[in-house]
Amino acid sequence: MSPPFSDPDERLLVRQATLQDIPAIIALSRRVYEGTGMYGYTEGPLIGQMNNFPEGQFVAVVGERVVGYCATFRIAGEIALAPHDWTSITGNGYGSRHDPEGDWLYGMEVCVDSDYRGYRIGQRLYNERKDLCQSLELQGVVFAGRLPSLSRRIKKFDTVEAYVEAIKTKKQKDGVLSFQLHNGFEIHGIIPHYLDADHASLGYGIHLVWRNPKVERNGSTGKPKRYGKRAPDTIRVGTVQYQQRRVHSFEEFAGIVTYFVDVVSTYKGDFVVFPELFTLQLLSIENRDGSPAEAIEAVTEYADAYKDLMRDLALRHNINIIGGSTPVKDSEGAIRNTAFVFLRDGQVHAQDKIHPTPNEAYWWNISGGSRLSAIDTDCGPIGVLICYDAEFPELTRHLVDQGIHMLFVPFCTDERQSYLRVRYCCQARAVENQLYVVMSGNVGNLPNVPNMELQYGQSCILTPCDFPFARDGIAADTTPNVETVAFADLRPQILTTARNSGTVKNLQDRRHELYSVNWRGD
């Protein structure tokens, strides 16, 4: 690589980080932390940081190269100013402890490319933090800094307190703490076991604060009272309870789908949701003999036509479509049960089913996926779990840590017990994660189509169980086994208020120091 800024046209820019920056941030963090005992970021935590508090994440870029990253979130002073550790306060790195009404800005990360040190990139990122703090009229910035020279010098000073005192009195210089003190930060304390993986700092964190000079000091020691918040905006969702019926052509199938998209669009919906594997209806076009595995492979032949249809409908009707799921053959010949999300701006996202049911694996040779990510939409980040996946609570928690407020669950169940397993688990996911869950299922019978002979469904839109929501935690419900559409207006701000000041606060009250979900997939 040529020396920094050897090209006279190169410019150094600090801007808000975006989801598109994530691969570059991953590469940067791995370079920066190589050999330190700490690890660089993976995709999930970065998605969570940006979705939970997008305005608080910054990158420094030179041309197309990301050379610095800064991550922050808002938090209450009684939490940030008390002793803590990195994992607990950051929600295992996802920034999921973000409190929209928090009165302090917490700095959870700053890393700078070593090739660009000397250009005050760290200074620029710290300035962005201070500017954000002042624009939000917060009390100040708080974080726990590193002491990367401590392990080499501890024998000379005997204790970490003596080492820090020497830095304060300028008898000793530390590359990180000296810089932070020079930038107006004050030492609030020393936190042992802040990040034990930081071997150079012997696990210590230096508790630092910068107080916003443009606001009055908050002398209150009590917690502020928070209630009565309402959002003017809503998100309208229509879930389709889809009747399986024989069709004679793909065009006939497309006509039925178009009808439902048009209905929800006419009602000014933001999302229309279809069921899992509702495209197996296409097997009724031809009476094919053969095994269930051959039948499911036959449906994969319609995958491209299905995607073209749904994308066109999303654009024409200005609506986001959760396209149920359909069998898809991947590049290696494996068959996946894949949910596609068609956004009204033309983007298409795919989410494989992670856990095929025993029936799917045995009869249809369906393989499970290994990637699970939040999907950014014009209505905020969402997640999709296909049927059986909703029965695994770790998956929803992984998506919630990435910032979702709505979870869509297309399902396909043959009888009532199967359906209730999915329904009860979806209600649990809504309660334990304080989010909205939208279910969409098939109903009716489809004779002579393997494994689709019977369908039982009761589509619904579920909420947490607390005062701001419907009495039974059900925003909308349907009559079982009747083709219909159910609507509900969902208010993300009420959900956020409940998460931060509800009767119970499942997300805030997690014991991050005891347990976490660590995603090891793609």
Residues designated as active site: 276, 353, 387
Read off φ and ψ for residue 312, nearest 5 degrees: -65, -40
Q: Where are the alpha helices (DSSP H) in 434-491?
A: none
CA distances, 78 to each of 27, 84, 362, 504 (Å): 35, 11, 54, 19
Contacts of 463 by beta carbon, 8 Å cutoff, 6+ apart = 430, 436, 469, 470, 473, 474, 475, 490
Q: Are 72 and 106 in contact (CB under 8 A)?
A: yes
β partners of residue 39: none
* Dihedral sign, Cα of residue 88, residue 92, residue 93, residue 94: negative
Read off φ and ψ for residue 96, nearest 5 degrees: -80, -5
DSSP, residue by residue, 101-143: T-SEEEEEEEEE-GGGTTS-HHHHHHHHHHHHHHHTT-SEEEE
**Residue 205 three-state SS:** strand
CA distances, 168 to each of 57, 173, 178, 314 (Å): 29, 9, 8, 60
Q: Are 453 and 461 in contact (CB under 8 A)?
A: no
**Rg of the Cα trace of the chain?**
26
β partners of residue 488: 237
> Long-range contacts: 214-220, Cβ < 8 Å, 24+?
214/134, 214/137, 215/137, 215/138, 215/139, 217/139, 218/77, 218/103, 218/139
Cβ burial of 313 (10 Å; 0-12, 13-18, 19+) is buried
Torsion, Cα 315 317 323 326, to 10 degrees, reads -70
The DSSP symbol for 431 reads H
Beta strands 406-411 and 436-443: pairing type? Answer: parallel
CB atoms within 10 A of CB 476: 20
